[in-house]
A and B are shown apart, each in its own frame.
Chain A
Amino acid sequence: MMTKQTIIEKINDFLIEDFEVEEEELEPSANLKDTIGPDSLDFVDLVVAVESNFGVKLVGEDFANVVTLQDFYNLIEKKLD
């Protein structure tokens, strides 16, 4: 079972590495869309990154209530639960 902290670290790692987000931008209160990019295509790549890092496949509805990075961390945690 992955700890909450490990999940956050893994997500932050691929956001920095694959999405080229600056580390200082990774505040839990940050807007996810602003962080990864405003393009809807970026969400496709987010789905790919989540699948390759966590083995979980997200679909559009999963993002319905995701606004901040913290929401996104929570979503992955819930999916892994």
Chain B
Amino acid sequence: MKLAWTREEMMAIAAARLLPDGAVCFVGIGLPGVAANLARRLHAPDLVLVYESGPIGAKPKVLPLSIGDGELARTADTVVPTHEIFRYWLQGGRIDIGFLATAQIDRFGNLNTTVIGDYRSPRVRLPGAGGAPEIAAHARETLVILRHQRRAFVERLDFTTTVGYLDGGDARERLGLRGGGPRWVITDLGLMEPDPATRELVVTAIHPGVARAEIEANTGWPVRFAAEVATTPAPRPEELAALRDLRARTAAAHGRPSGE
């Protein structure tokens, strides 16, 4: 069956639905920007977008290519220095949702954005930490969005850049992190949530047209499914229209869609 939407679109829409109106969301670089700006056009017009470059309450009309485009500063309620964003607004406990992308994730929601291979002689040098370690430490909860691929969902991270639940159980609490940790992992195949006791990520929803076997094949550990796995509601026409309009306007502004 040919679906009327792409998996990429399903992923962005599924993520946008998880952002409640009025929440304060620290938007990481990449895919989070797409979902956060989509949510603002749908059910969450008062979602407060905070970018680590300094804009607070940004309301961009097109997706920025970077996290510091002029569009963000021009449309923000205020723009503050970088150290202030991290000190007063993040460390000070003002952020509800930290929204991150990553290159690798493990079963406990720990993230690697630093290297593939050995740190001193890496096979692939990735961009690095950016704001992620402290965003994931201090936000009341964290959302992580990434494509569901075996090279990304790994048994063992090459490098722990950002802590989720460490090795599970109460390890995160023992480390003294004040934020709650990963609440949702959104992929192009489904949604995962931490088991309340072990904190292992468990599949709780599967997007329409996706088979369990596909999720198993694309996860680098023996992935667990919740007792009751929901099917993600298919994108509604207004969700698709808003996403496609956002992308079209962004493409017209930059020459190609951004945030990926």
Q: Are both chains from one complex?
A: no
Which A positions have Cβ atoms within 8 angstroms of B? none
